[in-house]
Amino acid sequence: MPVISVTGLDLCYGKRQVLQDISMQVHHGEFYLIIGPNGSGKTSLLKALANLLPIADGQIEILGKSLTSYTRRQLARKLAVVPQQISLDFPFSVAETVLMGRAPHLGLMGIERGADHALAREAMHFTDVAHLADRPLDQLSGGERQRVIIARALCQQPEIILLDEPTASLDPAHQIQIMDLMERFRVEKGTTVIMVSHDLNLASLYGDRLLLLHNGRVEMVGSPDEVLTAERLGGCYGCAMLVEKNSLGQMPRVTPIPQKYSHIV
């Protein structure tokens, strides 16, 4: 049984249709990447899966139950979201932020017990932010902040984690660090990871399956080998792409071709 099952999903912002007839299935423990050009609806799809955007039509099932049958709290125990960024107007400390991940498991006043503090500490160690525990969030670098939010998601003990471009605005070393972290998360905790990404090469290196969105429709779902072909990417992105085999493990490596080299291809 798929962990997430979507059939015939439509989504609109006002009169503008952003997603059209999306169907997808994500399996347990999968590293699933949603890729596509700007404005293709990737983030909207992710938000729809987390019930953060109302859908116009279609059916979303999470762990075999309709998304609409969950209360927010019930959903937050099953599914964690790592947003692109969180507001820093009132900066909590790293430890306080991570501890908030326990909220869906606590009572009304949200008093954390020893076990909750232990889970938060474990999550901070897992994402290597334990040494920053008392620092306010607004004093951290982008990569550190991203790892704090991932620790918060970990603290939720979810079965599914959704990430919205967690590697945007990070340098290559930190990008790999975040991706490795999610891979470890997936392998050690058995969590299903669904990630929106702009980076086709990271998608190729980590993704079990990729969903390529184009103009709000599913262009293709499949393994990196199947999805990342020069012809298909060129059509979607409107830019000639060079696709070769990566010497690391034979997965595709994608290079957009600059104008000045276009005569070579």
Partner 1 sequence: MFNDLRLGVRLTLVTIALAGLLAISFLLGMGIGPSGNGISELLTAVFGSGDPQSVFSVIVWKIRLPRVILAAAVGSTLSLGGLVFQALLRNPLAEPYILGISGGSAVGAIGGMLLGFSPFPGMALAAFAGSLLILVLVVGLISGNTSMGRDSLLLGGVMMNAFCGAIIMFLISITQTSEVHQILFWLMGDLSMSGLDRLPVLLLLLPCFAVIFALSKPLNMLLAGRESAASLGIDVRRLTMLLLLVTTCMVSLVVCQSGLIGFVGLVIPHVLRLLLGPDHRLLVPACILGGASYLILCDLLARTLPTSGEMPVGIVTALIGAPLFIALLWRSRRCQ
Residues binding partner 1 (CB under 8 A): 47, 50-52, 71-77, 79-81, 83, 86-87, 89-93, 96-97, 100-101, 103-104, 106, 108-112, 134, 156
Reduce the DSSP state of residue 243 to 3 states and report it.
strand
As measured in angstroms, the least distance from the Cβ of 188 to partner 1 is 22
Sequence-separated (6 or more) residues with CB below 8 Å from residue 209 = 30, 32, 33, 221, 222, 223
Burial class (CB in 10 A: 0-12, 13-18, 19+), 156: buried
Residue placing its CB nearer to partner 1 in the complex, 41 or 252: 41
As measured in angstroms, the least distance from the Cβ of 118 to partner 1 is 13
Burial class (CB in 10 A: 0-12, 13-18, 19+), 103: middle
Amino acid sitting at position 217: R
As measured in angstroms, the least distance from the Cβ of 256 to partner 1 is 30
Sheet holding 65-66, edge to edge: 16-26, 4-13, 57-62, 65-66
As measured in angstroms, the least distance from the Cβ of 242 to partner 1 is 37
Tokens of 180: 């490795």
Residue placing its CB nearer to partner 1 in the complex, 77 or 214: 77
Residue placing its CB nearer to partner 1 in the complex, 134 or 231: 134
Residue placing its CB nearer to partner 1 in the complex, 23 or 141: 141
As measured in angstroms, the least distance from the Cβ of 131 to partner 1 is 15
Residue placing its CB nearer to partner 1 in the complex, 111 or 248: 111
Q: Give the dihedral sign, CA 49/52/56/59.
A: positive
Q: Give the dihedral sign, CA 161/165/170/173.
A: positive
Q: Give the dihedral sign, CA 95/138/87/147.
A: negative
As measured in angstroms, the least distance from the Cβ of 61 to partner 1 is 18
As measured in angstroms, the least distance from the Cβ of 109 to partner 1 is 6
DSSP state of 198: S
- Other beta carbons less than 10 A from residue 89's beta carbon: 5
CA atoms of 27 and 186, how far apart (whole Å) = 12
Residue placing its CB nearer to partner 1 in the complex, 108 or 173: 108
CA atoms of 156 and 98, how far apart (whole Å) = 9
Residue placing its CB nearer to partner 1 in the complex, 1 or 108: 108
